[in-house]
Amino acid sequence: MSGFLITSLLLDELGRTGRIDLSGFWIRRARRLLPALVLMVLTVSAARALFPDQALTGLRSDAIAAFLWTANWRFVAQNTDYFTQGAPPSPLQHTWSLGVEEQYYVVWPLLLIGATLLLAARARRRCRRATVGGVRFAAFLIASLGTMASATAAVAFTSAATRDRIYFGTDTRAQALLIGSAAAALLVRDWPSLNRGWCLIRTRWGRRIARLLPFVGLAGLAVTTHVATGSVGEFRHGLLIVVAGAAVIVVASVAMEQRGAVARILAWRPLVWLGTISYGVYLWHWPIFLALNGQRTGWSGPALFAARCAATVVLAGASWWLIEQPIRRWRPARVPLLPLAAATVASAAAVTMLVVPVGAGPGLREIGLPPGVSAVAAVSPSPPEASQPAPGPRDPNRPFTVSVFGDSIGWTLMHYLPPTPGFRFIDHTVIGCSLVRGTPYRYIGQTLEQRAECDGWPARWSAQVNRDQPDVALLIVGRWETVDRVNEGRWTHIGDPTFDAYLNAELQRALSIVGSTGVRVMVTTVPYSRGGEKPDGRLYPEDQPERVNKWNAMLHNAISQHSNVGMIDLNKKLCPDGVYTAKVDGIKVRSDGVHLTQEGVKWLIPWLEDSVRVAS
C-alpha cells in the first residue's frame, strides 16, 4: 500500500511540476510520522514498569533505533528471534517495519530523481524532451527488477540461521514496497481522477476483472494468514512475495475500479475512520497488547482481545486529534522544518537516554543456552574431583555444607547467593535439565530437544554427593517435569497415569541417589509460575496451577517413602496466597515469572538456611 501510494504521488508531482521536491517530500513524511512516534516511544519509556523486566533489557537502544528509523537493523544485530522468542519481546519491536518503510522513503525518491535526470540527459543528446511516460516505464522497470532481486534473495538465502535476518532486513522486505511501486508506475496515470474515485479502466471486461481480482487477493491473504507459521520452508517457498502479491492485487484493483463490491466494503465509514487513525493503531497496538495481559486484567480470549483493541483505538484516536493533525496543519512562518525534525529526534533520544536506565543484560532464558554452549558448563564451578580428599569424618568446625542439585530455579538461587556466614553452598545445578531423560518437550509453545548431557544426572549426582559429603543435600526440581513431553512415542504430561508412573520412578531414583551416603535430603516444592502468556492471555500448559499441584503431590508421596528425605515448601513461601505472586513482602521475588531476582534471593536465604539446618 505504501509503495503504491508514494509512487503514485511522486509521479503525479513530476507530471504536474516537472520535478520532485525532495525536501518537501521528506518534510511531509516527517510531519506525518515523527510526532506520533516520539509520543509513543516516550510513553513506553515512562511506563516501562508495565512491561516484564526481560522485555526492557535493550529498551534504551531500541528507542534510539526507532527514532533513527533503523530498528529493523538493530534487531538483526541483536539476533532477535521473531518467531520463537523465549523471552518477552521488546515493547518497541514492532518499529522494525517503520524502519524498513522510512528507509524506502529515503532511497526510492532518489532513484526516481536519478532516473529522471538520466532520461532528460539522454533526451537532450537527441534533441528531444523527456516524457513522464518514460519516467513511469523506468520506475516500473526499476521496481520490478528490485522486487525480483529482493524476492530471490529472500528465498535463496533463507535457512534456520538466517530466517530472522530475512524477515527484518530492508533488502529482503523491500519486495513488498517495490511491488506496490511497480503497480503504481504501470497503472496509475491520472492521480486526480483516482483520488476522486473515478474508474480508470475504460473497457467493460477490464472493469469486470478489476472487480473480481480483489476477491482473489483477499482469498490469498486469508489462506496465508490461516496456514502460515513462519517456518523456514515457507520462506523458501516464497511466503513474503506471495503475501505481497496478494496484497497488491487488492490495493491496485480497488484503486483502479472503486465501484466494486470490495471497494464499497472498504469505503464503509467506520473502516475509513479506522484507516484514518491506522498509523496510530500500528504504533500503539504492540505495547498495549504487551501491557494489557491476562495476569494484569484477569481476562483471556475474546474479552482480553476486545479490551486491547478498545485501548488501542482510544489512544490512536487521541494521538490523531491531539498530536498528529495539529502538527500536520501547523505552518510555521520561518522555522526550517527539516532541521526542526532533526532537533526533535535528537531531543527525544536525549530524553530517552535520561529516562531509561541502561539494561542489566539479557535475563536467563530457561529454554536453553546459546548454540554450542554445554549445559553442564553452566554449572557453577566446584573443586575438581582430583583435588578433593577422600570422604572421612566430618569436621565439626567446618561450615554447614549444603549440596544443591536442580535446574535453573536452583541456578538463580546460587547465582545471586549473598554471603552466608556459617554455611557453605556447593552448586551442582544445571540450566534447562529435567529428571525426565531423552525426550523432546514443549516450552512456551515451542518444541525443543533436551540436550544429551542432561541425561547423565544419575552418575553425575552420585559422584558429586559422594565427593561433597554435605550436611544436607538440597534438590530443586519440578519446572521441567510439568511441561508437555513425548513418552512412549506420544505427547503427554503429568497427570497421565503412564507418564506419572515413569516420572515417579525417576523421582524415587533421584532421591535414592542424592541420599545414598545417608545424608539428609531436602526437596523444595515447585512454586506457581507465569513464564509467559499465549497471545490470547491464557497460560501455557507448564504454568497451569493444576500441573504444579500434581507435581507437588507426587513429591509429598515420594518423600513419605524415604526416612531421610524432607520437604521445604518453596511454593508456599513464594506464593503465600495460593496463586502466582511476583512480589512478596513488598519485594519483587521473580524476574520473569519463573526465576528468582537478586533481591528475592537475599530475602529468601535466611528462611532457607533455617529450613535446612532444622531439617538436619
User: Is the distance from CB of 365 to CB of 87 less than 8 angstroms?
Assistant: yes
Q: What are the distances in angstroms from CA 271 to CA 3, 268, 274, 561, 572?
A: 21, 5, 5, 66, 51
- Buried residues in 320-348 as b, exposed as e (16+ CB within 10 A): beebbeeeeeeeeeeeebeeebeebbeeb
What is the separation of C-alpha 497 from the centre of its chain, rounded to a whole number of angstroms? 36
**Structure letter (DSSP) for residue 370:** P
Which H or E run contains 429?
A: strand 423-429
- Phi first, then psi, for residue 15 (nearest 5°) are -70, -35
Round the average pLDDT of the chain to a whole number and report it. Answer: 89
**Structure letter (DSSP) for residue 197:** T
Tell me what pLDDT residue 215 has. Answer: 96
Tens digits of residue pLDDT in 430-478: 998 999 998 899 999 888 998 888 999 999 999 999 999 999 999 999 9
Tell me what pLDDT residue 88 has. Answer: 83
Closest CA to 454 of 466, 467, 440: 440
Percent of the chain with pLDDT over 90: 73
Closest CA to 74 of 87, 62, 56: 62
Tell me what pLDDT residue 472 has. Answer: 97
- The average pLDDT across 377-396 equals 45
Q: What are the distances in angstroms from CA 142 to CA 111, 242, 296, 439?
A: 8, 20, 50, 52
Cα–Cα distance between 20 and 22 in angstroms, integer?
A: 6
Cα–Cα distance between 166 and 574 in angstroms, integer?
A: 42
pLDDT for 190 beyond 80: no
Tell me what pLDDT residue 386 has. Answer: 35
pLDDT for 50 beyond 50: yes
Tell me what pLDDT residue 369 has. Answer: 40
Closest CA to 407 of 322, 526, 324: 526
Tell me, what amino acid is at 62?
D
Cα–Cα distance between 445 and 536 in angstroms, integer?
A: 13
Higher pLDDT, 598 or 204: 598
pLDDT for 510 beyond 50: yes
pLDDT class of 127 with cuts at 50, 70, 90: confident
User: Is the distance from CB of 471 to CB of 520 less than 8 angstroms?
Assistant: yes
Question: How many Cβ atoms from other residues are within 10 Å of residue 516's Cβ?
Answer: 15
Cα–Cα distance between 498 and 556 in angstroms, integer?
A: 19
Tell me what pLDDT residue 423 has. Answer: 96
pLDDT for 74 beyond 90: yes
Tell me what pLDDT residue 357 has. Answer: 67
- In this structure, the chain runs to a length of 616
Cα–Cα distance between 501 and 492 in angstroms, integer?
A: 12
* 3-class secondary structure, 491: strand
pLDDT for 87 beyond 90: no
User: Is the distance from CB of 136 to CB of 11 less than 8 angstroms?
Assistant: yes
- The average pLDDT across 577-596 equals 94
User: Is the distance from CB of 591 to CB of 544 less than 8 angstroms?
Assistant: no
End-to-end Cα, the chain, rounded Å: 70
pLDDT for 511 beyond 80: yes
Q: C-alpha dihedral over 354, 355, 357, 358, to 10 degrees? A: -50
**Structure letter (DSSP) for residue 302:** H
DSSP 93-128: TTHHHHHHHHHHHHHHHHHHHHHHHHHHHHHHHTT-
Tell me what pLDDT residue 377 has. Answer: 39
**Structure letter (DSSP) for residue 190:** -
pLDDT for 598 beyond 80: yes
Cα–Cα distance between 479 and 469 in angstroms, integer?
A: 27
Tell me, what amino acid is at 110?
L
pLDDT class of 354 with cuts at 50, 70, 90: low
Tell me what pLDDT residue 591 has. Answer: 87
Tell me what pLDDT residue 328 has. Answer: 84
pLDDT for 391 beyond 70: no
pLDDT class of 388 with cuts at 50, 70, 90: very low
- The average pLDDT across 361-376 equals 40
- Cα atoms found within 13 Å of the Cα of residue 442, Cβ hemisphere only: 15
pLDDT for 364 beyond 90: no
Tens digits of residue pLDDT in 299-346: 999 999 999 999 999 999 999 999 999 988 877 656 566 676 676 677
pLDDT class of 130 with cuts at 50, 70, 90: confident
Tens digits of residue pLDDT in 207-250: 889 899 999 999 999 999 999 988 899 999 999 999 999 999 99
pTM score, whole prediction: 0.86
Tens digits of residue pLDDT in 251-305: 999 988 888 999 999 999 999 999 999 999 999 999 999 999 999 999 999 999 9
Tell me what pLDDT residue 270 has. Answer: 96
Cα–Cα distance between 393 and 438 in angstroms, integer?
A: 38
Tell me what pLDDT residue 390 has. Answer: 42
Cα–Cα distance between 274 and 529 in angstroms, integer?
A: 38
Cα–Cα distance between 337 and 342 in angstroms, integer?
A: 9
Closest CA to 329 of 19, 28, 614, 7: 28
Which H or E run contains 446?
A: strand 446-449
Closest CA to 283 of 526, 516, 101: 101
